[in-house]
Structure 1
Amino acid sequence: MRSRYLAVLAVSALTCVGAAALVGTGSSITHLAGAAAPSGSSGPVDRTSTAGAIRAAQLRLDRVPADDRTWAQLGAAYVQQGRITADPTFYPKAEGALARSLRLRPEGNVDAYVGEGALANARHEFAEAVRWGRRAASADPYDAAALGVLTDAYTQLGRFDDADSALQRMLDLQPGLSSFSRASYAFEQRGDVPAARAALTRALAEAVDPADVAFCRYYLGQLDFTTGAPAAALEQYRLGLLAQPGAPMLVAGRAAAAAAAGRTDEALRDYADVTARLPLPEYLLEYAQLLVSLGRDADADALYVVLAGEQQLFAANGVQDDLTAAVVEADHGDPADAVRHARLEWDRRQHPLVADALAWALHRAGRDAEAREFADRAAGTGWRNAIFAYHRGMIEKSLGHDDSARRELTRALDINPYFSPTQAPVARRALAELGGHP
């Protein structure tokens, strides 16, 4: 059942005037830098960036090495820096700093518990994140950050009732950017796009820091793009880049929307820029798909080599990510390996994204009867996701269920006709073969 504050947000979508991983903001880091900065330091400290927060904490610990709270704050900053830079070597540093904090104060150390939960989420150890989040919430029931850890972990585990309960408590305690943006993702997964947009608009109204404004604009743009409105998405990305010039997520979003709008040269420039600066798997995959759609298979293959190296780096630093491997192998490698990776991920968490990846891997391996079960599970929350509908439609087509296939492929193209530069044309051809009209 939808919770109290979430229901209010859903209703507000009807009147709100306005324009989805784990959610995080820069606000807590700015606060962290202020809390950790030493007095009388020998030089200026950048208090507006995660790097500044790290330096401030390090300076403080040079003076007061037994400060358990600053060790916890340093660990949290390392986690955030790992996420921002896509450099997982920050995670072992975070692990060391948080362990030091817990050695100094093993009981009641809420900051360290929250930091451990954030680290577990970053490494995709979501069950472990729940353990730390519960410990933090038990020690301090009024700590909103602990509830954010729990919301993120429960969401990725597919435990949506538990996620709603944690999010409701977070909204009650601290209605602001972090909680509203998480509410937006909750609505999006249910297929309630107006409510998701309303929640993000509320988050934007709370944003002051340029990074937070950019964050909100990016996700508003993502909602526009994934619902088939690339021009509206481009405007959100433009506004976000005014707040934070060069922000990688906005540049990547602009690239995808530009490609959908037929501005291929701009898209290629943006993808080349963002993948050089921040080679996240999703950016590399999007860039590779665009290159394949242009017949530049050799260039795309080079990106898959980079992606494989990134996956090895993340694995070496404790990040569990069989989902990316499953997605890559399903379309560009060995379908049997795709199934193996997808099942490993499913054993850890039953999220719709994982169900969809497993469905597609099984389909590519020729196991459509099994694939259909997981495609149905992916669609179970009502998420308006064109990729889900496309995969489901192709599975139904392979099973000879022509009516269902037509319905799902039509739905995919209705949701977002630009959902993939390589797969959207396949969807159109398949629909034409079935006598449908995109």
Structure 2
Amino acid sequence: DNTHLSIGSRRQLGSSLHSPHPPLKQLETELTAQHTEASSQLQEVQDLREKLKSLQCELYVLRENAEKHDAQLAEKQKVIDSAENERTQLREMLTNERAELERQVVHAKYITEQNDAIQSDLLHKQHQLTEVEQQLHDIKAELEAVNSTHAADIVIKTKEIDSLRSELLQIAVELNAKAQLQEELDALRVELAEHNQLKELQLSQATVENGQKSILASDAENLRRINEALQRELEDLKHKSTSEITELQQEIEDMQSNARHMTEKLAEVEKLHSALTTQQVLANTNADQESLQATREIATGGEISKLKAEEQLQREKAELAAKLREIMNEVRDVSERNLFLEQQCENYLILEQSNERLKLQNAKLSRQLDETLVSMQHNEGITANTEFEYLKNIMFQYLTGSANGNNETLVKVISAVLKFSPQQTQVALEKEHQRRSLINKIL
């Protein structure tokens, strides 16, 4: 628009210039007017543009509002549909509840009829109450008689159990004494082995250093006397152990006899318990009837003393059952102690066998000493190699483990032959003790 206005103004100006004698002031006035008109038109164009923008904005806002209204309308439609579905469900629930109410009405009529029948049956049961009460009194009298008899049996069995306990305590003391005797016997074994080894060493050293047959004969005679004394002591220990084992076996037989007697008593108690169980079942049946009657009496304002008496009877039965369990536990304890005593007898038999083996080893050692003395008497040309041969034999026994557990004694002998210092001997003994402990743990 501005371009078209400028072109028109230029044409008017050109025509004015080409016209003859154009008035200059008039031209300026027209030019000013045209310029003013062009400015006015330009301002109108700007205003129109602003209005157009404003209208476009309003149009955009209206479109957004229209979309919002459409969304709200859709949500309201959903709410309407949901309300319609809920109304349909409520109608169905109302129909179901109405049907359920009608069914409950029918059931209430049935319950009323049943209640009338129960009331008539209740009247019939009340007529039987007198007979049931009489039977209950009879059963209570029988139970009291059984309880008194069983109480006497329990007192007798308690006394027997106390007697068995005192006997078991006495046997335990005797077993401790026998264990101490076993320790003393083990100490004698070790002492005998050490003494024999040291005597052999002394004999060898005496042969090498002195070479005197009289000293060897004297030492051999002393060794024989010591061996004979040890053999006599072993015989005494064996005889003592045998007599104690015989006494212990007799005690075990007595305990077994008592156990059999207790078993017979236990069978009687079990029979009594079976009879009590049968009577308890009958009493429970009557108790159920009495409980029903007591409930009816409570409903009619009656007394509850019979129910309390039945509860007291049940408590007495529970106490009786607890005493029976206690007696069973005592009998089981006695049986276990009998098994323990039998195991102790087996251990003493093993000890007796070990004593026999020790006796044989002692005899073998005596024969070896005799043979050694004979060979020494017939061979006057013994040299220093005897000590080396003896040390070789000792080392062979130690390395092969054929010393029957007397490795510490062998360590002492080796230390004496090789003239170890006391400190070296002590260290060697400690190492041997550690090695033996480790082997025992592994085994």
Pick the structure with more helix per residue: 2
Regarding TM over 0.5, the answer is no
With normalisation by structure 2, the TM-score equals 0.16
With normalisation by structure 1, the TM-score equals 0.16
**Relative contact order, higher structure (CA 8 A, sep 6+):** 2
